[in-house]
């Protein structure tokens, strides 16, 4: 890793309440820049060079803080307390049944209607990094425990953006955090991600029901979900598969291959910090030459092909279409709090949450 980026900030806009929202920008030595807002801890833009050295924004987004406040696509946001879904908005912890915000039919999605994506985080610079902090009170969206969250963004001269998540709690509570960035490495208005080439280091994924709740694990071998070898996304979207029809594309969690645990017990995930950070996915756009790798210490990677972006207001007053961008969200499994291995996603006073995920962007000739 090379030296951390230069950090600056400037006024950006206001919320419907009139509250001003600044924009913080990390810049590295090669002109790459990543802009982040206190609203939702959101990555608003990421300008990266193509093979000819031309900068382009590789992330989808909106123009103003007000649009982010009103939108429901979670573009670039820090998502919590629970990323993805909890079936029926219910779980049992320490013998107590909890009912949390059901903001997607009967399920909780991405922390509820007032999740971390709509919170105002407190930002400050520390040694060229951007540190975002947030306090979530007991009862937020129905979750137990007071939680203090710290998320650090670091951009280095190699084009790697590290997102380091830490959280502590005063009572047992589920925690599953992620960043919901939509990527399009073409960085062109109107472009889709069908020509992108993707690989994911996973032998299995979760099949889902009609509400996108996992129902069983399935092997990727021999079907559209097999990205163990790099494959064009567009061709896979056209592959006949009941799960693709059900979700209108990919919106599934991949079960990443398990690395060897550094302390030898094989457990920990987002809360234990015991799994090493390893490369789990690679995305390439042949037209621009941009390539992005994803590395994480998490067990799951949600691959979403922007199936419901139709009509979503985007940059410069334009509207997006389905598959205008894709998400590669590292974290625990959807509804894992109701699975047999739920202890992996429960934080406790003596078991703080920790996650490290890295997105590295470069070019191929």
| 223: its two tokens | 């079907």
Q: Which of 62, 110, 160, 180 is catalytic?
A: 180
| 79: its two tokens | 């998502």
How far apart, in whole angstroms, are the C-alpha atoms of residue 84 and residue 109? 5
Task: Identify the residue whose tokens are 């015991």.
Answer: 274
Task: Identify the residue whose tokens are 């990555």.
Answer: 43
Q: Is 140 helix (H, G, I), strand (E, B) or coil?
A: helix
Q: Is 229 helix (H, G, I), strand (E, B) or coil?
A: coil
- Supply the DSSP string of 246-296, one letter for each residue: HHTS-EEEEEEPPPPPTTSS---HHHH--SPPEEEEEEE-TTT-EEEEEEE
Nearest to 140 by CA among 163, 173, 167, 166: 173
Measured between its terminal Cα atoms, the distance across the chain in Å is 22
Q: Are 270 and 331 in contact (CB under 8 A)?
A: yes
How far apart, in whole angstroms, are the C-alpha atoms of residue 269 and residue 247? 27
State yes or no: cis peptide before 81, omega within 30 of 0: yes
- 329 labelled catalytic: yes
> What is the DSSP-derived secondary structure letter of residue 223?
S
The number of beta carbons lying within 10 Å of the beta carbon of residue 332 is 28
Q: Which of 38, 110, 323, 329 is catalytic?
A: 329
Sign of the Cα torsion 341, 85, 115, 308 reads: positive
Catalytic residue numbers read 180, 329
């Amino acid at each position: 890793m090379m030296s951390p980026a230069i950090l600056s900030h400037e006024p950006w806009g206001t919320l419907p309440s009139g509250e001003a929202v600044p924009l913080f920008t990390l810049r590295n030595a090669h002109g790459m820049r990543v802009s982040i807002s206190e609203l939702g801890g959101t990555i608003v833009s990421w300008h990266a060079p193509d093979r000819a050295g031309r900068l382009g924004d590789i992330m989808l987004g909106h123009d103003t803080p007000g649009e982010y406040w009103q939108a429901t696509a979670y573009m670039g946001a820090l998502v919590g307390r629970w990323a993805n879904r909890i079936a029926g908005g219910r779980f049992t912890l320490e013998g107590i049944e909890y009912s949390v915000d059901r903001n997607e039919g009967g399920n909780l999605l991405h922390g509820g209607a007032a999740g971390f994506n709509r919170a105002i985080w407190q930002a400050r610079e520390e040694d060229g990094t951007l540190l975002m902090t947030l306090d979530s009170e007991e009862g937020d969206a129905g979750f137990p425990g007071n939680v203090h969250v710290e998320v650090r963004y670091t951009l280095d001269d190699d084009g790697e953006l590290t997102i380091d998540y830490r959280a502590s709690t005063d009572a047992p509570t589920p925690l599953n955090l992620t960043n919901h960035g939509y990527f399009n490495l073409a960085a062109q208005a109107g472009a889709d991600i069908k020509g992108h080439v993707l690989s994911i280091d996973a032998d299995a994924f979760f099949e889902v029901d009609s509400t996108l709740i996992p129902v069983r694990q399935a092997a990727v071998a021999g079907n559209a979900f097999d990205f163990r070898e790099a494959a064009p996304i567009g061709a896979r979207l056209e592959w006949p598969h009941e799960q693709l029809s059900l979700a209108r594309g990919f919106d599934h969690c991949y079960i990443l291959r398990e690395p060897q645990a550094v302390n030898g017990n094989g457990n920990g995930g987002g809360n234990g910090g015991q799994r090493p950070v390893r490369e789990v996915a690679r995305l390439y756009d042949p037209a621009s030459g941009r390539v992005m790798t994803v590395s994480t210490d998490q067990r799951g990677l949600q691959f979403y092909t922007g199936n419901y972006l139709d009509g979503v207001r985007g940059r410069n007053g334009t509207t997006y279409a389905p598959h205008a961008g894709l998400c590669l969200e590292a974290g625990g499994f959807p509804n894992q709090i109701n699975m047999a291995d739920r202890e992996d996603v429960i934080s406790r006073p003596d078991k703080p949450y920790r996650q490290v995920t890295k997105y590295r962007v470069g070019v191929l000739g």
